Amino acid sequence: MKTRVTELLGVEYPIVQGGMAWVAEQHLAAAVSAAGGLGLIGGASAPGEVVRNMIRDVRSMTDRPFGVNVMLMSPHAADVARVVLEEGVKVVTTGAGVPDKYIRDWKAAGVRVIPVVASVAQARLMERLGADAVVAEGTESGGHIGEATTMTLLPQVADAVSIPVIAAGGIADGRGMMAAFMLGAEGVQLGTRFVASTEAVVADAYKQRIVKAKDIDSAVTGRSHGHPVRCLRNDMTREYARLEEEGKSFEELEYLTLGSLRRAVQEGDIKNGTVMAGQIAGLVKDVKPCAKIIRDMMNEFRALAGKAADYE
């Protein structure tokens, strides 16, 4: 399958695995890339050398393209930005800010730069700065979120920029992918679906929580302080909501979630940890290998391709 996104990334399918903190480590990224998508290592708050080791590990597992997500708010962002260059990584996605400090060096080295955006204004700014594409991420997503839904954000971003748009938020099968393409995307990024994959090094309890999730099982913490995060409802989110209602400070609320994603991912603490996942968790009914996730999606996508003709 060919789109501007497959051409840009050098991949077989326009399917990107989101650079998820604690989840997007070398095994997951390598599995997605080996299956023909684009695997991403999630830089999150990890030091540069940790990311360097993960990059080398991916290379030992696959010779296909992969990328790194640089979280710009991380205290190690500059380090990770340099490591990406030193290791010759070909694709970088960025989150939590504007990559103006790094984009010139990355572009000079031929790195494809793809910022994640949650609004038309952000998309336009990234295009002006020289981004090669944007990931337009709707509020349905797991993790840190914006306000606009994927349904409304996508066509508006697609109309506003001429670089390719990759859709994220609420996509877990071929129907979601086709819908995104109809709205102007030329690629999709999936987070939640890949957490529930065989290769994700994530506690089984976390994966099963996603598999058992219903459509309305996600909650958003941190809205009152302008740092909304979507995760699955549990004792932590209930306590968070109670404290938010009481008007507790950002610092007090932060204390509740300190290290809580790592605890959920690595220790399987799905009661008091942060089980980041999107609204589409309700659609995820099984844990399966990344190659099967991609194959099933592409089969569904292709089966839908001629369907518009039915409405004539």
Ligand X SMILES: Cc1cc2nc3c(=O)[nH]c(=O)nc-3n(C[C@H](O)[C@H](O)[C@H](O)COP(=O)(O)O)c2cc1C
| Binding stretches for ligand X (CB under 6 A) | 18-21, 23, 42, 44, 69, 71, 95, 116, 137, 140-143, 168-171, 189-193, 195, 276-278, 280
Closest C-alpha to 133, from 92, 83, 171 = 92
Q: Do residues 210 and 195 make contact, with C-beta atoms less than 8 angstroms apart?
A: yes
For the CB of residue 312, give the shortest distance to ligand X in the complex, in Å: 32
For the CB of residue 286, give the shortest distance to ligand X in the complex, in Å: 16
CA dihedral angle for residue 146, residue 282, residue 92, residue 59, rounded to 10 degrees: 160
Closest C-alpha to 88, from 133, 50, 55, 47 = 55
For the CB of residue 20, give the shortest distance to ligand X in the complex, in Å: 3
- Angstrom CA distances, 59 to 54, 64, 65, stand at 9, 8, 9
For the CB of residue 206, give the shortest distance to ligand X in the complex, in Å: 9
User: Residue of minimal CB distance from ligand X?
Assistant: 191
Minimum CB distance to ligand X smaller for 42 or for 164: 42
Tokens 């393209």: give the residue: 65
The backbone torsions φ and ψ at residue 226, rounded to the nearest 5 degrees and listed phi first, read 75, 20
Minimum CB distance to ligand X smaller for 143 or for 184: 143
Burial (0-12, 13-18, 19+ Cβ within 10 Å), 241: middle
Minimum CB distance to ligand X smaller for 8 or for 77: 77
For the CB of residue 130, give the shortest distance to ligand X in the complex, in Å: 19
Minimum CB distance to ligand X smaller for 212 or for 242: 212
For the CB of residue 49, give the shortest distance to ligand X in the complex, in Å: 18
Minimum CB distance to ligand X smaller for 135 or for 158: 135
- Spatial strand order of the sheet with 134-137 comes to 15-17, 187-190, 165-168, 134-137, 112-117, 91-95, 66-71, 39-42
Residue type present at position 18: G
Minimum CB distance to ligand X smaller for 189 or for 260: 189
**In a 3-state reduction of DSSP, which class is residue 244?**
helix
Minimum CB distance to ligand X smaller for 6 or for 17: 17
Q: Do residues 205 and 273 make contact, with C-beta atoms less than 8 angstroms apart?
A: no
For the CB of residue 276, give the shortest distance to ligand X in the complex, in Å: 3
